[in-house]
Amino acid sequence: MRLWTLIKQQLHVAFNLSALRWYARYDRKKLAGGVAIAVAVIASLVPMYYYVYLQFLDAVFLAGLTIGQPEILLTLSLVSASFIVLFFGIAFVMSTFYFSRDLSLLVPLPLTPGEIVGAKFAVVLVQEYLTVLPLFLPALIIYGVRMGTGIAFWPAGLAVLLLVPVLPLTVVSAAILLLMRSTNLGRYKDFLRLVGMVLLVVILLGINVLVTKLAPLTQEDVLALLLAEDGLIRFIARLFPPALLATRALVAGGVASVLNFLGYLAINLAGIVLTLFLGERLFYRGLIGGEEVAARKSVSQSRLERKMARVSSPAAAIAAREIKLLVRTPIYLFNSIGVLIIVPVALLLPLLMGEAVDPLLAIFLQPGNRFFVNLAGAAFIAIMGAFTPASSRSFSREGKQFWLSQVIPVPPAVQIRGKILYSLLLCLLSVPLVILLSVFFTKWSPPELLLVIVLGLCGCLPAVTSGLLIDLLRPYLNWDNPQRAIKQNMNVVLGMAVAALCYWLLYLLAKHLYRVGFSEYVIYAALAAAALLLGYIPYLVMLQIADRRYRDIVAP
């Protein structure tokens, strides 16, 4: 009963329900504005969602139908949704469990650690439904409608949908509880925790690759997979075995459906029990002392004077502040550079462990394809820039400390330049990856490498400035744990959507110029100029509105 009360309270806080009710009563205009923005954000994503994801699901269904295994659609979307929850849940769970501001209120209350963990878990779970719903629901609908399933399919589908994020989240929660307990060690704990999160991702990816590589497929195996009744489904479900139970619960029919569902439910419940058990045992031991830092370091007089004497320009001081805050907050750092680690690991592991991609790589790297290889390298830097969205949460990240930016005598334009500088510095982090790529695969010459890097960084600019503009227009400052500044911040999604639009325009430009027959150097120059222009437009808009926005934003 106490747990239920706590869950209700936590959900109220997490979804700002009281505030929404208040706005509905006293300030409908503001509420309508918020709803309109949310609708606009979702609407902006609909074309991409439809043409990329839904069309893909449809194609998977049709392919499955051709070989007599249409259920592959359900298994594939179950596995994908589970993996997305698994990877993106790492920072979310850590932040919600350990860095929520309300912990200092909850811990002194007569609640058990298991109850606090249970309530926090419920909050993460409900928020993960927002991720799972658009991924899995279309698969259910496509399958159900196209196959003309019986009425029992729909309640079963709903039950499976509700269970999809549970198991991955319990795995992540258990791992985070263990990680935080074992790294609660003095001054290096932030660093250890970052390393732990990255390791967790690498381990999860490694297990995934290992599982798929355990039994290499021969031609006969492939034939058997296609011919067996649910061969391909079993094959896909090797990545996440409970997905097989869930698929069968939906399609097997009769008693088999019920038994498979009960099996799936039992695994999920076991995950919850394990999380609560570990929470009861480990939560406080990972949390208590979390706010403490190392014993006081005495700074020598000479060092103090040296540090005091360092003078920087305001823009450089702002960029330095942003970088220090990023580097010292594991959640931000993981969210900002995690993708720079995950993507190469995800790419390299299969390359290192199998030969299937070698022929593809060989074709791609043929001398006649240099132009495309160069563009792909630049696109990699640009896309990584969009995936390390430091800019689209740059204002939001300041949260309750935004008042400082508002009262300092530094023109907002200068502060914005500091933020652009900081975001571009983060984009530079993908350069070492490109160099590694060059050393091992693409073998770019130094001038080519320089070209790829410069073109890639030009490509980052539209993502940086448009993201910054979006966040300046609607900063999300009133968050209670750092992950909420990122996870519940639609600006990040909107920023990526705008970046995707910019990249699509650049792609169209390159395609057009190539077809017309321009030389590759003209195309490089045109792309760089177009990217700079696309980046400059949001910058100009920001300069126009910055003074007003800095005055109008009300810091919480």
Q: Give me the phi and psi of 24, to 5 degrees please.
A: -60, -30
Nearer Cβ to another protein (32/52): 32
The radius of gyration computed from the CA coordinates of the chain, to the nearest angstrom, equals: 25
Min CB(187)–another protein separation in Å: 9
Cα 197 to Cα 183, 193, 496, distances in angstroms: 11, 6, 23
Min CB(31)–another protein separation in Å: 13
Q: Give me the phi and psi of 529, to 5 degrees please.
A: -65, -45
* CA atoms of 86 and 169, how far apart (whole Å): 6
Min CB(229)–another protein separation in Å: 56
Nearer Cβ to another protein (402/503): 402
Nearer Cβ to another protein (309/363): 309
Compute, in degrees rounded to 10, the torsion defined by CA atoms 489, 490, 491, 493: 120
Q: Which of these, 508, 443, 495, lies nearest to 469 by C-alpha position?
A: 495
- Helix H, strand E, coil C: the string for 440-466 is HHHCCCHHHHHHHHHHHHHHHHHHHHH
* CA atoms of 425 and 323, how far apart (whole Å): 9
* CA atoms of 229 and 71, how far apart (whole Å): 10
Nearer Cβ to another protein (281/548): 548
Min CB(304)–another protein separation in Å: 7
Nearer Cβ to another protein (267/317): 317
* Spatial contact of 123 and 488, defined as CB atoms under 8 Å apart: no
Min CB(410)–another protein separation in Å: 5
Residue for token pair 């709803």: 35
Where along the sequence are the contacts to another protein (CB under 8 A)?
Answer: 26-27, 29, 291-293, 296-299, 304-305, 307-314, 316-318, 320-321, 324-325, 328-329, 400-401, 403-404, 406-411, 547, 551-552, 554-555
Nearer Cβ to another protein (115/322): 322
* CA atoms of 232 and 17, how far apart (whole Å): 44
Min CB(34)–another protein separation in Å: 16
Min CB(326)–another protein separation in Å: 9
Nearer Cβ to another protein (219/301): 301
Nearer Cβ to another protein (174/546): 546
* CA atoms of 367 and 387, how far apart (whole Å): 30
Nearer Cβ to another protein (347/473): 473
What SS3 class is residue 152?
A: coil
Question: For 527-544, b where at least 16 C-beta lie within 10 A, e where not — what string?
Answer: bbebbeebbeebbeebee
Nearer Cβ to another protein (59/408): 408
* Spatial contact of 74 and 251, defined as CB atoms under 8 Å apart: yes
206 Cβ contact partners less than 8 Å away, ≥ 6 residues apart: 349
User: What are the start-end ranges of the E strands in 33-158?
Assistant: none
Min CB(462)–another protein separation in Å: 28
Min CB(479)–another protein separation in Å: 13
Min CB(313)–another protein separation in Å: 7
Nearer Cβ to another protein (329/388): 329
- Specify the long-range contacts of residues 339-345, CB closer than 8 Å, at least 24 apart: 339/384, 339/387, 339/388, 340/384, 340/388, 340/429, 340/430, 340/433, 341/198, 341/201, 341/202, 342/87, 342/201, 342/205, 343/384, 343/387, 344/433, 344/436, 345/201, 345/202, 345/205
Nearer Cβ to another protein (272/325): 325
Min CB(552)–another protein separation in Å: 7
Min CB(310)–another protein separation in Å: 6
Q: Where are the alpha helices (DSSP H) in 288-389?
A: 301-308, 314-327, 330-353, 358-364, 370-387
Min CB(397)–another protein separation in Å: 11
DSSP symbol at 398: G
Nearer Cβ to another protein (190/280): 190
What SS3 class is residue 412?
A: helix
* Spatial contact of 174 and 275, defined as CB atoms under 8 Å apart: yes
Please tell me the total number of residues recorded for the chain in this structure. 556
* Rounded-to-5 percentages of helix, strand, coil across the chain: 80, 0, 20
